[in-house]
Structure 1
Amino acid sequence: MASLLATGPQAFAGAVELAVSSRSLLLGRSTHAQIIKSLYPPPVPSFLSNHLINMYAKLDLPSPAFLLLSLDPSPSVVSFTALISGAAQNNRPLLALNLFPLLLRSSLRPNDFTLPSLLKAAASLRCPSTALQLHAFSLKSGLISDAFVISAAVNMYHKTGLLSHARHLFDEMPRKTIVAWNAVMTNAVLDGFPEAAVSAFIRLRSAAENPNEVSFCAFLNACASLEYFWLGSQLHSFIIRFGFDTNVSVGNALVDFYGKCACVAEARQVFDSLSTKNDVSWCSIIVVHAQNAEEEEAFHLYLATRAKGFIPTDFMLSSILTTCSGLSGLNLGLSLHAVAVRSCIDGNIFVGSALVDMYGKCGSIEEAEQVFDGMSERNLVTWNAMLSGYAAQGNASVALRVFDEMRRGGGVEPNYVTLVSLMSACARGGRLKEGMELFEKMEERYGIKPRNELYACVVDLLGRAGMEEKAYEIIRKMPMKPSVSVWGALLNACRIHGKEKLGRIAAEELFELDPHDSGNHVLLSNIFASAGRWEESISVRKEMKDVGIKKEPGCSWITWKNEIHVFQAKDTRHERNAEIQCCWRILLLADLRRRMAAAGYTPDTRFALYELEDEEKESEVYQHSEKLALAFGLLCIPQGMAIRINKNLRVCGDCHEAIKFVSGIVGREIIVRDNVRFHRFRDCRCSCGDYW
């Protein structure tokens, strides 16, 4: 400070500006104190007052900034502009706009720096009437001809939803600046019109305007939304030619673009070539791997960010939490929850919503409820995550209650995802009346038209009630072509209720839509086998062989002590196979089998190979992968802890019955996640109600 005293007001002004650029409040306050104490009697001269007002406003301290403004006997437009600009930049739009009439009452006129900040504040408020008034003032004052003012006005009209005004204003610009072009492109992407952004970029180049990093990012975002791979990859070449390939923002946009086009290798190549990587870079590549079913690699990248010293952000944690459900990694999710708490971002709405979603998809509905109930703020994503968790468990009554709470107390209107989750919960919970009422009145009540996912839920709902013919009639009247999920729901209902004729119709449709899916052939074969129509069952299996379709082998896995243990039917490769086979099957399983038989369980040999004799069939069903995984769980996981098993295929009927009996006999909670849903076994009952 001694040097500042020696050099005078310019040095003080420089110190204040340094405080702004470094965002150092300590330096700013110290400089202000020295100005008052050592150099000048109050009031502070306007020259330094403007610098101090700008500093406090930019550092989001409007009270001292406003106090300095009020102490200035002759405030200038620069003083007001500094405070208005700081308020607009720090998301205080009301304060910025309230200062405008004060400026006018001080007999001052706004300049070409004041109006862009006011227009930005109006855009943040999304208030069309304010936007129109500011535009009118810009016209009357003659400032609308300024390039920065008109560009800010175009952006404001986009943000406030007055798209026609934005187009007219943009078209009337005598010379369109890159700022205006960027406003048009960026807002087109945000408003859900990516084609307009692509068109604007082409017009920009036709006008011989050179794009900048904002232009490239907007164009890449548009290509990512439209999945225009070739167009985006051509722009990549253009970016390299213009020398923007080293720009971190453009690099991040390229990573995101390639990821959304399912080009993981290209995204990784761009990421690896970035000389500078920021938080967004790491989050983008994590999301790329997570969205393209490479959850393990996504998690490894997250660990790499921590090793490099990056502090977890809300976006990073919410992104990596999505990988836990794909990995069925409840333990990973718990550790990430702990990281969120330690980083003090567990209260963030995006992290909270991701935690609810993670716990729901990992089958831990109680933990999802605990996070959900503890959130001070909830958005539509949060409510949808909670409803999805209940749907996966088939808990229709609670899902309907939460939906009612969302509409009445949450102040949130449902979207298509909400209704799919709710219909799925009704279907899995057997709530025929509520589900059909929701389906029939959704367009009238919520303005949402059903699509394939909702029709699949309705077919599943009717199928559970044994109303396959009615479900088939609804399918025939669908306004769009039925998808695999719709016909699959009907085929499964026919399997449960033994409707061979209708099952054949559904299967034929599925064979045409997805000819290489072995599951549909197996389902149809099982329908015939259950009805004792062995020749037709064998014929379906033969068709599979003739066209080269191979049934995916059943595989189950269980996590214990941070290791994933994988089992296949009749698998002997596990390192503890001897213990599982000898200790559990010979001793424990023999005892369990006696107790299960006493409780009423008999092996359902319909799910074994039909060529085998009865005694061999019984042996077959005891060697299914989920039973081997359960054996390992009973051996290793202590009493009191839930046993969590994952399977790549639908759990078979015999395994389902066996696990039900085991859960009651050994007094354990067993959670099995197959490729259809969660099965939560407790006290000889399953959450699916024996329909899946």
Structure 2
Amino acid sequence: MGSKAASVLGRHLRSATATATAHRPDSPLAVKELTTTILNHVRLGRLPKAISILFSSATPLPFSIYAHLFRICASSKAIIETRKLESHLVTFNPDPPVFLLNRAIESYGRCNYVNDAEELFDEMPSRDGGSWNAMLTAYARNGRAEDALDLFAAMNGEGVSASEVTFANVLASCGNESDLALSRQVHSLIVKYGFSGNVILESSIVDVYGKCGAMIDARRMFDEIEYPNVVSWNVIVRRYLEMGEGNEAVKIFARLLKLNVKPMNYTVSNAILACSSFGGLREGVQIHGFCCKINMELDGVVSNTLIDMYAKCGDLESARTIFDLPFSKNVISYTSMVSACAISGRMSEARELFDEMPERTVISWNVMLTGYTRTSDWEKALEFLILMRRSTRNVDHVTLGLFLNICAAIPDMNLGKQVHGYAYRHGFCSNVFVGNALLDMYGKCGNLIGARNWFYTMSHSRDEVSWNVLLTSFARRGMSEQAMLVFSEMLGEARPSKFTFGTMLAACANIFALETGKQIHAFMIRHDYDIDIVMTGALVDMYSKCRNIAYATRVFNRTSHKDVILVNSMILGCLNNGMSGCVFDLLDALEEEGVRPDHNTFRGALRACVCDGRVELGAKLFESMSENYYLLPHLEDYECMIELYGENGLMDELEAFLKKLPFEPTTAMLIKVFDFSRKYKWLKLGEWAADRLNELNPSVPFLFQIVDGDIDV
């Protein structure tokens, strides 16, 4: 009996001991149970629940589990769970391993909470290369390139060896800062540390040189890559495209195809975009054929780019054919097709497509609205805006900018002020695009005080465009002196563009400010601005209107390439400065250059013929307009011919010319004919002109009489 009691008591004691052991927080069984529970929640997608269970537990987990959970928090961008996990780790592990703290820094960086990553990095009792790389990655991923470069300098100062990851992040930061000099130094270090031949780093070097605008260096580095991968090809094609060298991007893509490399869909898309940039329809069609060959035509990225390329190259039918392919229709392809129709001015078709879209984004609405503004259909644009406000709350800075453009074009300042109030309430006023649109609206609506006040309110957010808009607003209203004052202020804050100089030269011409115009010209030369054919025309116009035809001629003669607009400006300058004889030399130069004259050229030439009495040449030029250049003469050209014959007393020729008029003569023409008839006593023609004047305006009769063979009014 006693032994049986003892065995029962022993059994109970052993059971109690086992239970106590099992429920100790750090016992293997408790750790296993907690780990299983947490991982089951993670597998079911319940990460917050899993971390909450861990956070409320006093049981430390194996380091591998912490590492696994940090990776999941990072991929899910779960900042709260990352903080809980780090807190639990450091609470129940007084000296956590460095690799786990590195995983925590990585997770903070992926969650876009760099300050948390910085705090943990600074508090680490010891760091390894992975710690520095994790912090560098966090900076680079979150656009804090300057901090990343400073950290790299500190890393070098402490003698920590850089790895491939280090250099990849530093190169990305150099590219974001467009720091070419530092990029070259980092490139040298990569060579020094023996990482030459690493295709990932070499591709990154190509990328950073491209971002810094050094395409010669980028191309040289690309050509040095022994075995470029698909990423390498994508980088060089993309950088050529972004630098405006579409032809070169297409050539690189062709070289890729010759080497039988299968490109990524993004590389194909970039090559198609490159074709769009220079109107390369033939090259685009060839790339389209390649896409069909490798079954990439139905790829969403590629098909949308093909639609855009065909539309920009004027082949809307091919764009529609791709759009109508099976499985091609989605919100992006719909938006691309609507944009294509809008760009081509086919707004009815664009609207039909827009109305049948199964879903719309703010971009879809903006594309349609842009089409209405591009075609200046302001009434439909306003109706569409009302529909948009009723249908969606999705409004971005582009929408507001377009709305303000409509207010400026109508013009309707009260509506513009309402948009201004909406932008202020919803935090859009700090956006420079919206700010400039507001500035333009106030200027075009004639509220120059409002424009000036808003310009100063923009303060640090204003840019070069802001200055140009304000300058143009004053110049458009004939307030050239105020435009000059704004320009002088601008020089202390922003670098003027060629558009700025064009506005300022026009302002100088309006108030005959020759000295200021000369100073602007000198400023452009001193600062190595490209004085292209447009700027040359502005200079010629300014000097001509300021009565300095010698300077205008000098600027004109120094231009190697001359177009019809520039020649017309020079012709007008000669006429306004009493140098009509020079016009005929300009006509000869125009013919030598192979430039086709337009209506303005002939009008200037006919005016010169009137001034110099060159009747025969004038008649020849007039006939040449329609016979040789297929230009129908305008009303002003007929008036010039009447004046040419009349001023030189050739009344027979004048009478014959009037009989051939393809329309009824205007009042101004008839008055001129009457005056010439009276001057040269051409009675019959004078009577005819007077009778026609009376027919045109019977309520106010034109009274005349013939006295002693003269016409008297």
Which of 466, 471, 477 is residue 557 of structure 2 equivalent to? 477
Separation of aligned partners in 2, 1:136 and 1:309: 53
In structure 2, what is the equivalent of residue 372 of structure 1?
A: 455
Matched residues in 2 for 1:342 and 1:233: separation? 48
| Larger displacement relative to structure 2 (215-224 or 301-310) | 301-310
- Structure 2: distance between partners of 1:269 and 1:191: 31
Cα gap change, 1:330 to 1:210, in 2 (>3 Å)? farther
Q: What SS does structure 2 have at the residue aligned with 1:401?
A: helix
- 1:222 maps to a residue whose letter is A
Alignment partner, residue 489 of structure 2 = 405
Cα separation, 2, equivalents of 1:67 and 1:509: 73
Deviation digits for residues 58-100 of structure 1 (CA, Å, limit 9, x no counterpart): 3333232122224444444333322211201212123223333
CA offsets per residue over residues 231-276 of structure 1, 9 Å max, x none? 2343344345545555555456446545654566766887896513
**Range with greater deviation from structure 2 (246-255 or 493-502):** 493-502
How many angstroms does 1:148 deviate by? 1.5
User: Residues of 2 paired with 1:11 and 1:294: CA distance?
Assistant: 63
Superimposed CA distance per residue, residues 200-253 of structure 1 (whole angstroms, 9 cap, x where no aligned partner): 212222222222233234323432332323223433443455455555554564
For the 8 Å contact 1:286–1:299, the answer to whether it is kept is no
Contact 2:541/2:552 (8 A) holds in 1: no
Give the 5 Å matches for 1:62-73.
62-73=114-125
Which stretch of the first structure deviates more once superposed, 611-620 or 45-54? 611-620
C-alpha separation in 2, matches of 1:280 and 1:73: 49
Aligned to 2:427: 344
| Distance in 2 separating the partners of 1:304 and 1:247 | 33
Within the alignment, does 1:174 sit opposite 2:226 as a pair? yes
Partner of 1:392: 476
1: CA distance between counterparts of 2:320 and 2:433? 26
Report the Cα distance in structure 1 between the residues aligned to 2:160 and 2:295, rounded to whole angstroms: 45
Is 1:416 paired with 2:416? no
Note the alpha carbon deviations across 1:500-527, whole angstroms, 9 max, x for none.
Answer: 777788899999966675x777788899
Counterpart residue number, 2:566? 486
Q: Call closer, same or farther: CA 1:318–1:77 in 2, change over 3 Å.
A: farther
SS in structure 2 opposite 1:113? Answer: helix
Aligned partner of 2:476: which letter?
A
Give a deviation string over 1:404-450, Cα, whole Å, max 9, x none.
Answer: 2222x20x3333222212112212333233224433x2453221243
Q: TM-score, normalised by structure 1?
A: 0.66
Distance 1:263 1:355, change over 3 A: farther
- Contact (CA 8 Å) 2:443, 2:451: kept in 1 or not? yes
Equivalent position to 2:525, from 433, 439, 444: 444
Alignment of structure 1 residues 493-504 onto 2, 5 Å = none
CA change 1:101–1:538 in 2 (3 A) is: closer
Task: Name the amino acid aligned to 1:404.
Answer: S
Does residue 1:275 correspond to 2:330, yes or no? yes
Q: Distance in 1 between matches of 2:240 and 2:562?
A: 32
Q: Is the 8 Å Cα contact of residues 135 and 153 (structure 1) preserved in structure 2? A: yes
Q: Which residue of 2 aligns with 1:148?
A: 200
Among the aligned pairs, what percent are the same residue? 24
TM-score, normalised to structure 2, is 0.64
Q: How does 1:221-236 map to 2 (within 5 A)?
A: 221-236=273-288
Provide the C-alpha distance between the structure 2 equivalents of 1:620 and 1:472, rounded to a whole number of angstroms.
Answer: 49
The 3 A distance-change label for structure 1 pair 129 and 438 is closer
Which amino acid in the other structure matches residue 135 of structure 2? L
- Alpha carbons 2:190, 2:196 under 8 Å: kept: yes
Give, in whole Å, the separation in 2 of the partners of 1:224 and 1:345: 32
What is the CA–CA distance in structure 1 between the aligned matches of 2:670 and 2:611, rounded to whole Å? 11
- Matched residue type, 1:143: F
Matches of residues 176-255 of structure 1 in structure 2 within 5 Å? Answer: 176-239=228-291, 241-245=293-297, 249-250=301-302, 253-254=305-306
TM-superposed deviation, 1:191: 3.2
CA deviations 1:638-681 (Å, max 9, x no partner) are xxxxxxxxxxxxxxxxxxxxxxxxxxxxxxxxxxxxxxxxxxxx
Change (3 A) 1:413 1:107: closer
AA aligned opposite 1:311: N
Structure 2 gap ranges (5+): 1-47, 55-60, 336-360, 637-665, 673-688, 701-713
Give secondary structure in 2 for the equivalent of 1:174: coil
* Bigger relative contact order, structure 1 or 2 (CA pairs below 8 A, ≥6 apart): 1
Q: What letter is aligned with 2:331?
A: T
Alignment map for 1:268-667 (pairs within 5 Å): 274-277=329-332, 282=364, 285=367, 289=371, 293=375, 309=392, 311-314=394-397, 317-318=400-401, 337-360=420-443, 364-375=447-458, 376-407=460-491, 409-410=492-493, 412-439=494-521, 441-465=522-546, 470=550, 473-474=553-554, 477-489=557-569, 517=599, 549=632, 606=668
Give the Cα separation in 2 of the matches to 1:456 and 1:354: 28
Cα separation, partners in 2 of 1:615 and 1:342, compared to 1, 3 Å? farther
Q: How many pairs does the alignment contain?
A: 564
CA contact (8 A) 1:491 1:523 kept: yes
Structure 1 residue aligned with 2:142, among 83, 86, 90? 90
Q: 2:112 aligns with which of 60, 76, 100?
A: 60
Q: Once the two structures are superposed, what CA deviation does each residue of 1:118-148 show, in whole Å capped at 9, x if it has no partner?
A: 2111222333443233223323433333222
User: What's the CA shift for 1:368?
Assistant: 3.4
Distance 1:55 1:615 in 2: 91
CA distance in 1, matches of 2:392, 2:298: 22
Letter in 1 for 2:103: H
Mapped to 2, the partners of 1:525 and 1:414 lie a distance apart of 39
The code of the aligned residue for 2:394 comes to: I
- What is the CA–CA distance in structure 1 between the aligned matches of 2:200 and 2:103, rounded to whole Å? 23
